[in-house]
Amino acid sequence: MALSDSELLGDFHFNTDGYVVPSGLFTFVIVAIIHSAYLSLGSNQGNSFQILTQAVADIGENCGEVNAVSKMFRTAAWGIEEQPDFLNMVVGISTLQDPLSLLKAIQEIEHQHQRIRTTKWGQRTLDIDILYYDNLVLSMPELVIPHPYLHERGFVLVPLAKIAPDLVHPILKLTTQQLLEKCEDRLDVVEI
């Protein structure tokens, strides 16, 4: 016997197989996928210590839960060396955001800290880079993951090794500690 629409609207609904079941049996489950990401932060304009401290709080509010925070390190500028020293650090986060949404969120944080993009590797109030996002390998015009220079930069590897020494680079298949040992960047990275 077929049920009328009015009978189905009351206490019964069709399940995925087309059978009629009591409506109280329906349970909806929402699954949120939590991703792990590591971000590098740097500053060499303004009160860099205060800017980086606030940036970590901003990341927690806008990007995801901050799980690990390295200490800050003073380093000479990399790329363009004729500029003030940087303060650098690395944070590990858990996030629900996809990589491009995370990029947009960190760019907004940079903007809030008056980041002006004029010269590549030039002076800046705040620079935030996505180093890793899960084990993802991604190459897009606006975003490359893992960060293409992370294995060449002592100012990234030293703080990253403090919070994730056994993290494996998904392309190079080396841990952070192994990358640091092979890194040819000889600029001083001094904990402050």
pLDDT digits (tens, 9 = 90+) for 104-145: 999 999 999 875 655 555 567 899 999 999 999 999 999 999
Catalytic, out of 124, 153, 186, 188: 124
Half-sphere exposure of 97 (CA within 13 A, CB side): 20
Q: State yes or no: is 74 an active-site residue.
A: no
Is 98 labeled as catalytic in the residue annotation? Answer: no
Taking only the tens place, the pLDDT of each residue in 38-60 is 999 999 988 999 999 999 999 99
The reply to whether 5 belongs to the active site is no
Residue from 17, 98, 117, 127 carrying the catalytic annotation: 127
The pLDDT tens digits for 3-24 are 454 444 444 444 445 555 455 5
**75, 81, 83, 84 alpha-carbon torsion, rounded to 10°:** 10
Our answer to whether residue 124 is catalytic in this structure is: yes
- Domains (ranges, CATH) in the chain? 1-30 (no CATH), 35-191 (3.30.70.560)
Which runs of E-coded beta strand occur in 62-165? 65-69, 73-75, 86-95, 127-133, 138-139, 144-145
